[in-house]
Structure 1
């Protein structure tokens, strides 16, 4: 599952996925709202940006990302997954456009 970013829809990528037998879900043209990992990435970014002191080196950043990823409660992931039906319905109502969900 991926959005319609150019790197995902390039002919070479589509050919490769077809060649190795990886099915690709149809995706609304302008909506990232169906991919729960995007919302998890947002949560991770907020947590890393809120750190005090902020990471100042690449190693500090890597350590912060790993630590914050480990600190995201499993319930957050479960909530995102359980929200998928409502997210899909919102995208349908928005005719494939972005939602406020």
Structure 2
């Protein structure tokens, strides 16, 4: 399964998947991303962006990212996972359209 992002739809990717007999699930374009990990990955990004002195080099960014990831409160991750029923209901009500998630 993959979204229909341009890098996933490249001919060389399609050719390789056919060659090794990987069957893809059909997936609508611009479908809502309900995978909780996408929202968890956003947490360190938001934390880093909110710092008064954001990283200026790749090395600083790596250090800041590891620190932000290590400092993620487990309760925030659990809350994201536990919000899935509400998220799914919101998507159903929106008929697959945009939501606040």
State the TM-score, normalizing by the size of structure 1.
0.74
Secondary structure in 2 matching 1:44: helix
Whether the 8 Å contact between 2:32 and 2:91 is mirrored in structure 1 is no
Distance 1:93 1:37 in 2: 22
Where does residue 30 of structure 1 map in the other structure? 30
* Unpaired runs of at least 5, structure 1: none
Cα pair distance change 1:77/1:12, threshold 3 Å: farther
**Higher RCO (C-alpha under 8 Å, 6+ residues apart):** 1
Tell me the residue number matched to 2:73.
73
RMSD (CA atoms): 2.7
Residues 52, 77 of structure 1: alpha-carbon distance in 2 compared, 3 angstrom cutoff: same
Task: After TM superposition, list the pairs within 5 Å mapping 1:23-62 onto structure 2.
Answer: 27-62=27-62
1:64, distance to aligned residue in structure 2 (A): 0.2
Greater radius of gyration (CA):
2
Structure 2: gaps (5+ residues):
none
